[in-house]
Amino acid sequence: MNAFRHTLLGRLLADPLAVFALAIVTLLVVSAIFADVIAPHDPTAMNLVDRFATPSTTYWMGTDNLGRDTFSRLLQGGRIALYVALTAVTISGLIGLILGMLAGFGPRWLDNALLFFFDTLRAYPTIILALALAALMPRGLGTVIIVVVITSFAEYGRVVRTQTLSLKNSEFILAERAMGASFARIVFHHILPNVLGPFFILAAMNLPVVITIEAGMSFLGIGVPPGTPSWGATLKDGFDYIRTTPWILLSGGLPLILATVGFTFLGEALRDQLDPRLRKTR
Amino acid sequence: MTPLLSLRDVVVEFPAVGGLKALLTPPEKRRVRALDGVSLEVTAGETLAIVGESGSGKTTLARAINGLVPLAGGQVTFDGTPLHESPDWHAIRRRVAMMFQDPVGSLSPRKTVRDLVLEPFAIHGLPLKDRQAKAVQLLEDAGLGPDFLNRYPHQLSGGQARRVGVARALALTPTLVLADEPTAGLDVSVQGEILNLMNRIKADHGLTTLIITHNLNILRHIADRIAVMYLGRIVEVGPVERLLTAPAHPYTRALMAANPEPDPTARRERIVLKGETPALNARPPGCEFHPRCPVARPDCATRIPRLEPATTGGQVACHYPLTQEPAPA
Amino acid sequence: MTAALQIDDLTVHYATREGALQALRDVSITVPEGKIVGVVGESGCGKSTLINALLQLLPENATLPAGRITLEGEDVTHASTRRLRQMRGQEMSVIFQDPMTSLNPVLSIGRQMRDIQYRQPGNRTEKDRRSANMLGRVGIPDPVGKLSAYPHELSGGMRQRVAIAMAALMRPRVLIADEPTTALDATLEVQIIELLKEIQREIGCAILFISHHLGVIAELCDRVVVMYAGVAVEEGPVEDVFLRPGHPYTIKLIECDPGRLKVRVADLPSIPGSLPDLTDPPAGCIFQDRCERATEICATPPPRAPQRPGHWAACHHSGPEGS
């Protein structure tokens, strides 16, 4: 497995698009981890004298209506965005992986029931569900994560189910059975490694979606608690004062664009490198 | 002498229609019989080849022996163990090795050749003192050098992948080997090597082999006896030379004659069979071959022939077997 | 006299990360009017590249550094896209290994057969009658009824018959058959071979028959071209090539066919070694690494050594015993 990852990384570094994507993702992750060190100001400190300051050497991206440094807030917001995205994608991915494999391996009725369940969930509009849940639950990151998990695990479930079904009837699985391999061995040694490829690609491409959901919910005021430095909250502030101080909106959108581009390209590069058919044509 | 493997009236059924549609279908049409009363005996040390065209049930037969498809009827006995009474498959499969059609596709794609050939030891929890040495030795027996150990299946040619399959099938020195189309996907220039390898290993270990194939050219060189299948039934069994030179069943004769030979001077007027193999759910009454048979008589459409001893040796399921004597040597 | 299909020094390269993969090198094949020419070779010999080049349907990463293909004297390699579309199907029909690739799964057989006659005169009824006639000709029972059938409702053998009927309906000058019997059972294979012979006699087209099966080639073809690793190594009348092969590869290939051996042998022949790396093929003879006769001279390009009239082998040491 180690050798495999090694070659995968090697192949990714040979692809210019992947290098670009990896650079952006690394930048986001590093700036989120070291947000406290990098940030020139306290992201929550209000400085009413410097309200609506234009970008300058002191305030690189200006300040907001309460005089808080936008750049420092965005760095902190990156922490929240990545925390929500990684947690939500991990949880929904795990649920989807387990249910998808159950559907793929289980009896026909279970497969049909789970498919119906997946489709019902996927049909539900995210924002409506978010509004409904926000009305029932306390405002906070937990609610955001739950909303994302509920709306996205069905997608993983479907992908994993399709993969499992096609692998289950493949000749190498039959060969394993004919050698006397146990069910657990077939699942963990032979099905899982082959399902994980498309699964990770989907996860990488879903990260920016989750980040925008968090931003969107914070924008609507049902995400993070007021005052928390989140990308969505910054956008909301920028939106309120768009006529007078457009740079808040512009700089608030910048990390969102970077995250979307970075993770999407990374997902695409991963897909190209993991799918042998796509690899050959290049 | 008791045979190593014996099959008696084996029946395997597959669902023909599924889901809600099945409720609207009469019960007898919901399932088709892929194997319809197959009886066969394999003696220890011999090689029996099962030949037949697609849909004849030859692959299903191998899978039924190994428990990969359930039996709907009949008995299978392997070395005294009844396989139709839910045996300990884990233990049985240690002694019955199987090779699948697709040389590359039957290898787990994310495992190295080393892991693949050692897989049987891992499955059966057999500790190895020196994994590396064992893997090298298994590969060497199959004619591959140690430089293949770290390769993945997609980096192998068909012939190399087939060798890995052979090495793996023989890792635990099985008693019986079921080989499904061992030459499928191989070029003629490679298939000789693989068959030589199988013949050599068979002789070295005294293996009993059941080879399933539609490649008629190789029969003479690998098999002791042949069983010919048509529509899930055995129509003729007998010694290989007899079936090739003096077949008793009209289908066997047509099948053997259908094989184009690499000799332009041997172009001959052959019996070209009418029509195609019927579908399993449209099995003709009586002898299932009678609509295509060049020598069918009226009663062939009503009476089902049983497998009976043929005058020329072996057994044949035909009311009017061909009686030509083998050409005098 | 112009040949129905003439391929001159065709060279096809594929751009890959490892460099240019030389899939075909200086391949020349002549298909005379009304003759059946077989191309035989094992995997990796360039059969599929040859077909794609004939139809000018090569993938994007392919280049054609040299060579010319002419159909009845007309240059195919430099024909306009519009002219090519006319040629495909009309003058040059293809029968594929899997007929499902050439039949549209959502249209009935009758509709598809009517559609390909769009340039022919006649109304719908006449076209359907022609279709049904042709289906009957290729041995399909109940041809009129089958016009309303869909491809998936037919068996593999029947689908291949429909594909042949559609190809024959256009009365092409050249029929390209790409392993048309490989996916079929032995008893159907002989039926299709017989059918191709009949159709060829009837419409008088030339056939380029591509197969890895020596027996089928011997059965059907007038002339044969043996290919190995993108190079045509031998060409001649089918009897000459099979009975007196000149190239060591051909000799080995025929030896390897177990159908030739009438008594049981303990040691089946094979060709040791593997295909050369086509991104960096050896200088000179392409087969030298696996050849028992190879000497130093084989590192230079082999001549087309004449064997018998119309029969050559690209080898320095050709002939039954070598020279």
DSSP letter for each residue of C32-78 = -TT-EEEEE--TTSSHHHHHHHHTT---TTEEEEEEEEEETTEESTT
* pLDDT score at A18: 86
B250, B289 in Cβ contact below 8 A?
A: yes
Residues of chain A with pLDDT > 90: what percent? 21
Per-residue b or e along C13-50, where b marks 16 or more CB atoms closer than 10 Å to that residue's CB: bbeeeeeebbbbbbbebbbbeebbbbbbbbebbbbebb
Chains that touch B (3 or more CB pairs under 8 A): A, C
Query: CA A38 to CA A54: how far, in whole Å?
Result: 20
Q: Is B192 in Cβ contact with C268 (below 8 Å)?
A: yes
Higher pLDDT among residues A123 and B135, named by residue: B135
Residue B68: how many CB atoms within 10 A of its CB?
A: 18
Torsion of CA C56, C59, C62, C64, to 10 degrees: 0
Instruction: Look at residue A273 and tell me whether its pLDDT is greater than 50.
Output: yes
Residue B74: how many CB atoms within 10 A of its CB?
A: 18
Q: What is the mean pLDDT of residues C40-48?
A: 89
Q: How many domains does chain C have?
A: 1
Residues of B in contact with C187 (CB under 8 A): 53, 254-255, 258, 272-273, 277
For tokens 């009304």, name the residue.
C34
B-proximal residues of C, 186-245, CB under 8 Å: 186-191, 193-194, 212-219, 238-239, 242-243
In a domain, C292, yes or no: yes
Burial of A8 (0-12, 13-18, 19+ CB in 10 A): middle
Instruction: Look at residue B248 and tell me whether its pLDDT is greater than 60.
Output: yes
- Give C41 to chain B, closest Cα distance, Å: 9
Q: Which tens digit of pLDDT belongs to each residue from A200-234?
A: 888 888 888 888 888 888 888 787 777 778 888 78
Kindly state the tokens that stand for A74.
């965005």
When mean pLDDT is compared across C93-102, C108-117, C249-258, the lowest value belongs to C93-102
Q: What is the ipTM of this complex?
A: 0.85
Q: Is A182 in Cβ contact with B109 (below 8 Å)?
A: no
* pLDDT score at B19: 63
Q: Which tens digit of pLDDT belongs to each residue from A107-131?
A: 888 999 999 999 988 888 878 888 8
Residues of B in contact with C194 (CB under 8 A): 272
| Gyration radius from chain C CA atoms | 21
Chain B, nearest residue to C222 by Cα:
B264
Domain ranges of chain A: 83-281
- Report the first-to-last Cα separation within chain B, whole angstroms: 31
What is the phi/psi pair of residue A266, to 5°? -65, -45
Higher pLDDT among residues C119 and B152, named by residue: B152
Strand C206-211 with C223-228, pairing = unpaired
Q: Which tens digit of pLDDT belongs to each residue from C286-308?
A: 999 999 999 999 999 999 999 98
> What is the third-level CATH fold of A83-281?
MetI-like fold (1.10.3720)
Give A1's pLDDT tier (boundaries 50, 70, 90): very low
Query: CA C53 to CA C29: how far, in whole Å?
Result: 13
In a domain, C155, yes or no: no
- Give C82 to chain B, closest Cα distance, Å: 38
In a domain, C82, yes or no: no
Instruction: Look at residue C318 and tell me whether its pLDDT is greater than 80.
Output: yes
Q: What is the mean pLDDT of residues C149-168?
A: 88
Query: CA C141 to CA C310: how far, in whole Å?
Result: 42
Continuous H helices in chain A: 2-13, 16-33, 35-38, 70-105, 108-123, 126-136, 141-168, 171-178, 183-185, 192-219, 231-240, 246-274, 276-281
Query: CA C23 to CA C26: how far, in whole Å?
Result: 10
Higher pLDDT among residues A51 and B46, named by residue: B46
- The helix or strand, by DSSP H or E, that contains position C314, with its residue range, turns out to be strand C311-314
In a domain, C121, yes or no: no
Q: Is B93 in Cβ contact with A178 (below 8 Å)?
A: yes
Query: CA A147 to CA A125: how far, in whole Å?
Result: 11
Q: Residue A113 has what DSSP assignment? A: H
Q: Which tens digit of pLDDT belongs to each residue from B99-121?
A: 999 999 999 988 899 999 999 99
Residue type, B59: T
